[in-house]
Amino acid sequence: MQPVIVPSATPPHRLKPIPLEAGDHLRASEFLRRYEASGDKVKAELVNGIVYIMFPEHFEAHGKPDSIISMWLSHYAAFTPSAEHATGATVKLSRIDVPQPDSLLFLKPEAGGGCRVTADDYISGAPEFVAEVAATSASYDLREKLEAYLRAGVREYAVWQIYDEAVDWFVLREGAYARVEPDAEGIVHSPNLPGLWLNTKALLAHDRQAILRTLDEGLKAREPRLTG
């Protein structure tokens, strides 16, 4: 992997930030400064020191699937007091990675989690679980962003490929991502978050009720001592 050349921060005499542009090479601090200055004019994230501008999303290709993933993870968090769920939250992973995952789960610090909410209301550190909705396997969610989450130590990463009708679930093992395969019924069991079960067949069919039924089975099956 080629080293990323990151320019210095904006000179102190420049009072007005330069607008964010796709392809800009920035440090996290300068990226956030420009991002905040843009207000609601742009949505962007920083991956491997490069700015990616986020464009409007379609309903079937992203909006609806994103809402299903959010429903699933929000339901898990509702019955797991030690976990927090967020959608579209900016995450400070490192000086070159500031992504905005579609959905994530992290354990609270008092429960041993590696994330914290900063004074400026961002998430800092690697969430325990990240989920992204991608168009196909060619998406940068399965390339550049996967590498960013791996560098940061995100323990589990799931990508729903809409057009390929596939779900990839990765778990961090010995410094690399290994795939977690579903069982014979198409259910994936999280290795690190007890009770987080996903019915991949129901997910691909957009069957919200079946997704929640499977998740409820997982929540009931976990040890009570792990729910607090």
CATH of the domain at 100: 3.90.1570.10
Query: What pLDDT, on a 0 to 100 scale, did the predictor assign at position 8?
Result: 47
The residue with tokens 């991002």 is: 35
Average pLDDT of the segment spanning 47-69: 93
Find the domain containing 83 and state its range: 59-222
| pLDDT tens profile 80-102 | 999 999 999 999 999 999 999 99
| 168 and 153 within one domain | yes
Cβ-contact 186, 199 below 8 angstroms: yes
- Range in 40-44, 128-132, 191-195 the model is least confident about: 40-44
| 150 and 48 within one domain | no
| 46 and 149 within one domain | no
Nearest Cα neighbor of 102 from 77, 128, 133 is 133
Indicate the number of domains in the chain. 2
Query: What pLDDT, on a 0 to 100 scale, did the predictor assign at position 225?
Result: 47
Is pTM beyond 0.75? Reply is yes
pLDDT classification of 55: cutoffs 50, 70, 90: confident
User: Domain for residue 228, yes or no?
Assistant: no
> Partners of 177 in the beta sheet?
172
| 131 and 218 within one domain | yes
| 128 and 75 within one domain | yes
pLDDT of residue 40 exceeding 80, the answer is: no
pLDDT classification of 223: cutoffs 50, 70, 90: low
3-state per-residue secondary structure call for 183-223: CCCCEEECCCCCCCEEEHHHHHCCCHHHHHHHHHHHHHHCC
| 93 and 48 within one domain | no
| 168 and 95 within one domain | yes
